[in-house]
């Protein structure tokens, strides 16, 4: 199976579905981790250098589970719902031929998350269109679109859960590749990661995945919802 996960920012996928992607990879599925924005906005530093660092971090995170990293490189703060951007999404879908697409829920807090979600939903449909001008053939499969958790789990009641207890270390290792995002101030190449117990980012995923695990009677889990629309519904379980 081909799995395409599309997150607005580097580290979104790790936080909300990293364990699930690790499970897919473990099952032998081909996993594509696509990051939409180029991350040049944070931490403080030369924007071009920061963008290059964020790209390298996303690549090392994908490498942890043997996934393929796709860097869409839309400039931070410049993600809009427009035709050129939708075209980028359509091309990624056509090129990777996913059997399932994972992205943000449509009403998540950040405009980049919301815009990414809407672009995925629209692009998934146009990716099917026979005569749409593209470098790739139409992708006409029935492709479920699965929404990963909302930021801090707010107003998000999962419909299905994935047990990630067995890949917990991998999820944390993936997150830890995004070193720049743990830096409190300007980018510092000599930055030393704080230990897990004093690390707010790790505590965040520990609480989130721990709570989803509690709901599903396992140690750690990730929760998901489905886009219920034509061409998106299959009778098999698509999550691992
Ligand atoms: Zn984000």
pLDDT recorded at residue 68 = 98
> CB of 36 within 8 A of CB of 79?
yes
Q: How far is the CA of 130 from the centre of ligand 1 (A)?
A: 33
Ligand 1 centre to CA of 154 (Å) is: 14
Split at pLDDT 50, 70, 90, the class of 57 is very high
The burial of 30, by beta-carbon neighbours within 10 Å (0-12 exposed, 13-18 middle, 19 or more buried), is given as middle
Contact yes or no for 62/24 (Cβ under 8 A): no
pLDDT at 70 > cutoff 90:
yes
105 Cα–ligand 1 center, Å: 12
**C-alpha 187 to ligand 1 mean position (Å):** 19
Q: How far is the CA of 110 from the centre of ligand 1 (A)?
A: 7
Number of H-type helices and E-type strands within the chain: 6, 7
Distance from Cα 113 to the centre of ligand 1, integer Å: 6
- Please tell me the distance from the alpha carbon of residue 62 to that of residue 66, in angstroms, as a whole number: 6
pLDDT score for 10: 94
Ligand 1 centre to CA of 2 (Å) is 23
Going from the Cα of 18 to the center of ligand 1, the distance in angstroms, rounded, reads 14
Please write the tens of the pLDDT for every residue from 146-170: 999 999 999 999 999 999 999 999 9
Q: Categorize the per-residue pLDDT at 187 as very low, low, confident or very high, splitting at 50, 70 and 90.
A: very high
Residue 141, pLDDT above cutoff 90: yes
Report how far ligand 1's centroid is from the alpha carbon of 226 (Å).
19
Domains of the chain: 2-181+191-226 (3.40.50.10320)
Q: Which residues of 88-121 are buried (b: 16+ CB within 10 A; e: fewer)?
A: bbbbbbbbbbbbbbbbbbbebeeebbbbbbbbbb
Average pLDDT over residues 71-98: 95
């Amino acid at each position: 199976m081909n799995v395409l996960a599309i997150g607005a920012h580097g580290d979104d996928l790790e936080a909300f579905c990293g364990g699930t992607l690790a499970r897919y990879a473990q099952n032998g599925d081909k996993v594509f981790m696509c990051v939409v924005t180029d991350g040049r906005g944070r931490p403080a530093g030369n924007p071009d250098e920061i963008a290059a660092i964020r790209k390298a971090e996303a690549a090392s995170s994908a490498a942890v589970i043997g996934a393929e990293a796709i860097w869409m490189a839309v400039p931070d703060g410049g993600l809009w719902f427009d035709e050129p951007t939708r075209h980028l999404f359509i091309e990624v879908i056509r090129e990777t031929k996913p059997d399932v697409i994972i992205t943000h829920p449509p009403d998540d807090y950040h405009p980049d998350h919301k815009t990414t979600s809407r672009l995925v939903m629209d692009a998934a449909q146009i990716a099917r269109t026979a005569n749409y001008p593209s470098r790739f053939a139409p992708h006409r499969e029935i492709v479920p679109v699965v929404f990963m958790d909302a930021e801090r789990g707010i107003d998000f009641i999962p419909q299905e859960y994935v047990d990630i207890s067995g890949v917990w270390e991998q999820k944390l290792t993936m997150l830890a590749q995004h070193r720049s995002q743990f830096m409190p101030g300007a980018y510092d190449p000599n930055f030393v990661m704080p230990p897990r117990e004093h690390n707010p980012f790790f505590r965040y995923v520990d609480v989130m995945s721990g709570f989803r695990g509690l709901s599903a009677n396992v140690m750690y889990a990730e929760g998901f919802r489905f886009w219920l629309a034509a061409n998106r519904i299959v009778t098999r379980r698509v999550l691992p």
